[in-house]
Amino acid sequence: MSSPQDESDFTLAQQVVISIVPAISGFLSLLGSSCIIWMILTEPRKLKSVKYRFLFCLCISDVINSGWFIMFAPPIPKGTPGVWGAVGNYSSCNAQGFFFQFGIIGSFYNGALSLYFLKSLCSSMKDKEIADRYEKWVHLLCVVWPLGTSVAAWFQDLYSYSGLGCWIAPEPLRCHRRDNVDCIRGENAYIFAWVYTGIPLVLLCIFILYAMSMIYYKVKEISKKADRWTINVGASIISTSSNLGDNPTDASGSIHAEATGRNSMSRHAKRTRDAAWQAFLYVAAYAVTHMWAFIVNTIELGGGTTPSYLVIIQNFFWPLQGFCNVVSDVCVFHRTF
């Protein structure tokens, strides 16, 4: 076992894999996000929906982030221990660190999508009401915090090599925990990493879990109502049919109205379930891509060591959200049609 924040004892093969896998997943993510952007732009009416505007912004941020993952190793300073393909310098490392920190904008827009589904499904808000009450403030928060912390970390000289490329880390690596090593810069980098990124993302995760829980209970409630409505209408139709001999015209009209109401309720329940399914898939895409980086960074910040296989898993999944999002859209399409 080794840690990307120690003098690395990764083998050359492990170093090569660690440097290449984020480029592969970054390319897949770039393709996925580009496909969603293309689908939205070819149907301009979609941009009239708050949901698609949030999704569009998420995909734009993912395209920017994916580009830096495609060239994962080159911007890292040349001679960095355990990094195959590192040919960069101080400036290129700062640039990569800036865009990786700005890349948390994607997490914020995942929270924005959860807010949209929460208000749309649980509060029965229309698009216009969500746009008027929340959208501009959501965009402001989603952009200002990632951009502001990216700039702040740059001016604080906090960007250095970490387990996930150049990001907020001390130099030399883990110098604040080595008795015989003085920090050149970033002695309190991990504190700022939690303030700028860790705590906000934990709060976002809590909100997303809350939103998904509320959506789950709402869908369950609507499904139960739809089932009860179907049973009651079915019984009513049978009762009405038995009276056809008395007044067939009125009875037929009553049967038609009741059947129409039943179908309307069923369609409403199906639309709600489909929207909830889409929300869950977007959240699943966010969880599966971000959980590994959270595990690795928690281990590193706590002073532990990370096995090479976990670093490889982290580096593969972290850039993959754009690809997972397009898979989610395909799943929703097949479920709907």
Q: What pLDDT is attached to residue 150?
A: 96
CATH, domain range 12-218+273-336: 1.20.1070.10
Q: What pLDDT is attached to residue 285?
A: 77
**Nearest partner of 254 among 235, 268, 229, 236, judged by Cα:** 236
Q: What pLDDT is attached to residue 156?
A: 93
Show me where the domains of the chain are located.
12-218+273-336
Is residue 58 a contact partner of residue 106, using CB atoms and an 8 Å limit? yes
Convert the pLDDT of each residue in 289-322 to its tens digit.
Answer: 878 877 877 776 666 667 778 888 888 888 887 7
Q: What pLDDT is attached to residue 228?
A: 63
Other beta carbons within 10 angstroms of residue 247's beta carbon come to: 11
**Segments in the chain below pLDDT 70:** 1-9, 163, 173-181, 225-272, 274-275, 278, 300-305, 326, 328-337
pTM above 0.75, yes or no: yes
Convert the pLDDT of each residue in 154-171 to its tens digit.
Answer: 999 999 987 678 988 887
